[in-house]
A and B are shown apart, each in its own frame.
Chain A
Amino acid sequence: MAMERLKGIGNQFYTLNLVPGKKVYGERLVKDANGEWREWNPFRSKLCAGLHNGLMAEHFAIHEGSNVLYLGSAEGTTVSHVSDIIGEEGLVVGVDVSPHVMSKFSALVESRENILPLLGDANQPETYASELEGMKFDVIVQDVAQKNQAEIFSKNWELFAHPKSVGYLVIKSKSVDFTKPKEQVLKQEMKALGKHIKVEQILSLEKHEKSHFLLCVRWQ
């Protein structure tokens, strides 16, 4: 059985460093018998916050060899950990709309061969669907600060998810409507996901990010 590339010790999670010796954002590096691990900060990565708030590491859909579509990759702090976990056999496509941030992301891409950068608007997946050449992804992660978060997710889900895919959708309620209470926004966005998507788990990330939720979804 392949060695786990994600582990939790005490109250911290660590990912096995794909590029030993190198830090990505000043995180702590820890060596043990199996190799070098990078400490994963739940205050910076929503996925890690999810692991701290009820997402079971054993059921975590991102594992060695996974194909991941990451919408809203920004400078790549979370994507770097995803890249660690999926290892050399896996693939993560990082999509972001901002050129300023994508140029910083490209520096990360140079050193990791399992990351593909994509400058594009997640709100218009048709614009990059042809570039992905019909590829389907095991996991689709979305963390964007837009008003129509659920709509963006379901558009990408329809195009890029295969029957067994798992989705991790971060709901930033302040970006949707900062005047409404977060529970109301959550309900609204869950409804907007549509009938084809089944929400399996709702996690509140309140301890690490105010007014954020993480939804685990699959096909209905």
Chain B
Amino acid sequence: MPPHIKEKLQEMRKQFISRTKERVQEQLSGPDAHVVRAVSSAKNLEAQFNLVYEQAIEWYALHFPEMRFQVREPLHQMQLIAQIGERKNYSQENVARVLLNEDSIRKVLEAAQNSKGGSIDAHALKAVQSFAHQALSLKQEQLTLQSFVEQQMRELAPNFSELSTPMIAGQLLSKAGSLKRLAEMPGSTIQVLGAEEALFSHLKTRSRPPKHGYIFNHPLVKTLPKHVRGRMARTLAGKMAICIRTDFFGKSRIVDELKSKMEAYSKHLSKLPFKPKPRPNQNANFSRPPATPRRDFAPSPPRREPSSQGYRSFRR
């Protein structure tokens, strides 16, 4: 390659590198990128909490098994273990710091008195309490992240987070990947974001389509009777799409009217009686035998000769 061409290419390369760097920085510093990471981190923390909680509560059950049935909330269980520890130390005063209900306090104290659990030595107790502390700090971390998500969503997309709760807004944003992609989605996609397994199964094997994904958790949808949830989900998702686009392209406030419409619609739907429609036989027009809806899309396992080990060898 002649040297002047080589020089030109080197110059071009430097420009490409700096231009790309600028663009990457621009795209990665959108607040939505941070919210997306925060949502996935919060999910991760929940999973971690569950693992550590399991360790703590199972171990503690050697000493005071009845506690987990008297106190239902995992957070309270961890607090009791961390703050009080041994059965003999349970008293009105220190249990009342964790539980608020007089009835529950009394039941826990009774259970502590009459427990069939064994004794626990100082070292083992320390280990269990350390797990409980870890669980509590994971939960604290998760709650902090969730409130970060909510606060960011309110700033980033005020209409959208008011209409759908900030938490659901965060989940939908996380699924879409960025606010821009979310704004490009039709309401029908927003309706089923979070129900991918059911959606793809429907597309592939003609099973029934999902009526709602993350949107199911919205109070206006969740509280409705089953037969009208789909209608609410569809309408609400459409309005969400409007809000998202308003937020993405310029933030005028339009949510108040939409929200009151949706609340009125939800109220109307909740009063509708259930009239089951006769459902056509879905398999009637199939030219091939109806497929059993399969949720994994791996190819069928190869047929194997029956082995001497009997049914166990066919298990996957």
Contact = CB atoms under 8 A, between A and B. Distances in A.
Q: Is the interface on chain A under 10, 10 to 19, 20 to 34, or 35 or more residues?
A: 10 to 19
Given A116-B12, A116-B13, A118-B16, A89 B24 contact: no
A89 B13 contact: no
A131 interface: yes
Given A100-B28, A103-B28, A179-B204, A133 B21 contact: no
Nearest to A96: B20
A47 to B, nearest CB: 22
A93 B20 CA distance: 12
Given A113-B13, A133-B12, A179-B204, A99 B27 contact: yes
B10 interface: yes
A175 B279 CA distance: 33
Q: Which of B1, B20, B297 is packed against the most chain A CB atoms within 10 Å?
A: B20
B96 to A, nearest CB: 50
A125 interface: no
A43 to B, nearest CB: 17
B16 A116 contact: yes
A197 interface: no
Nearest to A132: B12
- Secondary structure type dominating chain B contacts: helix
Nearest to A89: B1
A53 interface: no
Given A116-B12, A131-B16, A131-B19, A178 B24 contact: no
A100 B23 CA distance: 11
B122 interface: no
B247 to A, nearest CB: 21
Contacts of B28: 99-100, 103
Contact of B20 (A91, A100, A117, A179): A117
B146 to A, nearest CB: 24
A106 B23 contact: no
A99 B24 contact: yes
Interface in A44-103: 65, 89, 91, 93, 99-100, 102-103
Contacts of A131: 16, 19
A192 interface: no
Contact of A119 (B12, B23, B297): B23
A203 interface: no
A29 interface: no
Nearest to A116: B16
A187 B191 CA distance: 33
Given A102-B24, A133-B12, A109 B17 contact: yes
A155 B7 CA distance: 30
Contacts of B272: none
Contacts of A118: 16, 20
B27 to A, nearest CB: 4
Q: Which of B16, B21, B28 is packed against the most chain A CB atoms within 10 Å?
A: B16
Contacts of A178: 200, 203-204, 297
Contact of B17 (A65, A100, A106, A179): A106
Interface in A176-195: 178-179
Contacts of A93: 16
Contact of B10 (A89, A113, A119): A113
A106 B17 CA distance: 8
A100 B178 CA distance: 12
A208 to B, nearest CB: 16
Given A89-B1, A178-B204, A179-B204, A106 B16 contact: no
Contacts of B27: 99, 119
Contacts of A102: 20, 24
B203 A117 contact: no
B1 A99 contact: no
Contacts of B19: 131
A113 B28 CA distance: 25
Contacts of A103: 24, 28
Q: Which of A113, A116, A178, A179 is packed against the most chain B CB atoms within 10 Å?
A: A116
A89 B12 CA distance: 15
B203 A106 contact: no
Given A116-B13, A179-B203, A99 B23 contact: yes
A119 B20 CA distance: 6
B10 A106 contact: no
A213 to B, nearest CB: 17
Given A117-B20, A131-B16, A131-B19, 7 more contacts: A99-B27, A103-B28, A113-B10, A116-B17, A117-B16, A178-B200, A179-B204
The 3 closest A-B pairs by CB, nearest first: A99-B27, A116-B16, A99-B24
27 contacts: A89-B1, A91-B9, A99-B23, A99-B28, A102-B20, A102-B24, A103-B28, A106-B17, A106-B21, A106-B24, A113-B13, A116-B12, A116-B13, A116-B16, A116-B17, A117-B20, A118-B16, A118-B20, A119-B20, A119-B24, A119-B27, A131-B16, A133-B12, A178-B200, A178-B203, A178-B204, A179-B204
